[in-house]
Amino acid sequence: MILGIETSCDETAAALVTKDGDIRSNVVSSQAGLHARFGGVVPEVASRRHLELVKPVIEEALDEAEARLDDVDTVAVTQGPGLAGALLVGLSAAKAVAWARRLPLAPVDHLHGHIASLYLRPNVLEPPFLCLLASGGHTLLLDVQEQDGYRVLGTSIDDAAGEAFDKGARVLGLGYPGGAALDRLAREGDPEAFSFPVARVGELDFSFSGVKTALLYAARELGDELESRRADLAASYQRALVRALVERARDAATQSGHGTIAVVGGVAANSELRATLAEARFAPLSLCTDNAAMIASAGRFGRCLPYPRYLDLDAYASRP
Ligand code: KG4
Ligand code: ZN
């Protein structure tokens, strides 16, 4: 079995996955509540919380899988990208477990992890496919030919899609992180009520900073009417974001000759995106937002360092 550990942002997560991709346990402890009053993740607060949670979360993952450390053959851990201090907590914990038991350690790229959520049973997707990765930190169009990697075709030049959802949610007073809340509010609104054009940049790139400003101005202009129009604003704003994601994903699939589109990352949980891009394969809802099962899954395919050649391994904050 592979023990996966993920601490790149504000979720402390551990999971046990078999070499064949069966999930034995998948424990996620979200710190979202802790950061909500600051309106975003505070890196130092996140690192300290990871430090408190990482051991109990690993123990819970073992308990749930009815396993012991003796049953673990490999430790897989997120190396980056993410918050450096947060990553270092998971990486240190992984090194400690692997070193103490003389196990190999697989350093996992977080984005590869999101893609590898598609390689878990029971609904395994085999490459090749075009992958839209939309999360709080990234918006990427990826050419996936093999299970051990990916090639970037397009990306956001400013905000990530999840960030656009979160910032929109903030304008509408939905708290942090507001993507899921905006999704729920949008169901009660009219998506054609407002027009929020999304800028087209590059052929396969995204830009979400302008549409967020458009929402802010529309909300301001409404003044006292804002409260009664929040659902309409949410629905129209979501429609604009989803339309941009769907258009580019289809363009990328056509250009790269891929017959299959897959969608992963936190924004893959969005109900309108799932309904609009109906032909695509979406990661299971439970594996869209950050988790360690996807990290363990990626650990089956990527680089794996033998004991003890991982002790000097460092975390990286941004995509190399
Ligand atoms: O993948 P993830 O957990 O973290 C990163 O790697 O960044 O993604 C979190 C993001 C947040 O921005 C959150 O608001 C967004 O995914 N999200 C959603 C939904 N559920 C989560 N956005 C839109 N609709 C949703 N239902
Ligand atoms: Zn993520």
Per-residue pLDDT reduced to its tens digit, 280-293: 999 999 999 999 99
State which residues form the domain around 163.
Answer: 129-283
Give me the number of domains the chain comprises.
Answer: 2
Domain-located, residue 276 = yes
Same domain, 53 and 192: no
Inform me whether the pLDDT recorded for 257 exceeds 80. Answer: yes
Inform me whether the pLDDT recorded for 155 exceeds 80. Answer: yes
Strands 151-155 and 139-144: antiparallel
Domain-located, residue 319 = no
Overall average pLDDT of the 50-69 stretch: 98
Same domain, 143 and 272: yes
Same domain, 161 and 193: yes
Domain-located, residue 317 = no
257 exposure class (CB count in 10 Å sphere: 0-12, 13-18, 19+): exposed
Inform me whether the pLDDT recorded for 320 exceeds 80. Answer: no
Domain-located, residue 78 = yes
Inform me whether the pLDDT recorded for 200 exceeds 90. Answer: no
Same domain, 111 and 178: no
Calculate how far, in angstroms, residue 305's C-alpha sits from the geometric centre of ligand 1. Answer: 31
Calculate how far, in angstroms, residue 132's C-alpha sits from the geometric centre of ligand 2. Answer: 13
Mean pLDDT of the chain: 96
Residue 171: which CATH number?
3.30.420.40
pLDDT of residue 37: 81
Q: Is the CB of 272 under 6 A from ligand 1?
A: no
Same domain, 165 and 266: yes
pLDDT of residue 272: 98
Same domain, 255 and 202: yes
Nearest atom, ligand 1, residue 184 CA:
26
Inform me whether the pLDDT recorded for 303 exceeds 90. Answer: yes
Inform me whether the pLDDT recorded for 207 exceeds 80. Answer: yes
Calculate how far, in angstroms, residue 222's C-alpha sits from the geometric centre of ligand 2. Answer: 35
Same domain, 184 and 278: yes
Q: Long-range pairs for 32-39 at CB < 8 Å and ≥24 separation?
A: 32/176, 32/177, 34/10, 35/10, 35/176, 36/175, 36/176, 38/176, 39/170, 39/176
Per-residue pLDDT reduced to its tens digit, 79-137: 999 999 999 999 999 999 999 999 999 999 999 999 999 999 999 999 999 999 999 99
Domain-located, residue 307 = no
Atom 21 (ligand 1) nearest CA: 266
Same domain, 85 and 142: no
Nearest atom, ligand 1, residue 162 CA:
12
Pick 302 or 78 by higher pLDDT: 78
Share of the chain above pLDDT 70, in %: 100
- SS3 for 75? strand
Q: Is the CB of 32 under 6 A from ligand 1?
A: no
Nearest atom, ligand 1, residue 11 CA:
3
pLDDT of residue 60: 98
Inform me whether the pLDDT recorded for 157 exceeds 90. Answer: yes
Domain-located, residue 312 = no
Inform me whether the pLDDT recorded for 177 exceeds 90. Answer: no
Buried-state track 120-131, b at ≥16 Cβ within 10 A, e below 16 = beeeebebebbb
Calculate how far, in angstroms, residue 172's C-alpha sits from the geometric centre of ligand 2. Answer: 24
pLDDT of residue 140: 98
Domain-located, residue 320 = no
Overall average pLDDT of the 160-185 stretch: 95
Q: Are 265 and 91 in contact (CB under 8 A)?
A: no
Q: Are 133 and 140 in contact (CB under 8 A)?
A: yes
Same domain, 14 and 113: yes
Same domain, 34 and 109: yes
Q: Is the CB of 81 under 6 A from ligand 1?
A: no
pLDDT of residue 34: 86
Calculate how far, in angstroms, residue 8's C-alpha sits from the geometric centre of ligand 2. Answer: 8
Overall average pLDDT of the 137-155 stretch: 97
23: pLDDT confidence band, cut at 50, 70 and 90? very high
Same domain, 249 and 150: yes
pLDDT of residue 146: 98
Q: Is the CB of 310 under 6 A from ligand 1?
A: no
Same domain, 256 and 168: yes
pLDDT of residue 256: 96
Overall average pLDDT of the 250-269 stretch: 98
Nearest atom, ligand 1, residue 136 CA:
7
DSSP secondary structure letter of residue 119: G
Domain-located, residue 35 = yes
Calculate how far, in angstroms, residue 271's C-alpha sits from the geometric centre of ligand 2. Answer: 18
Atom 23 (ligand 1) nearest CA: 179
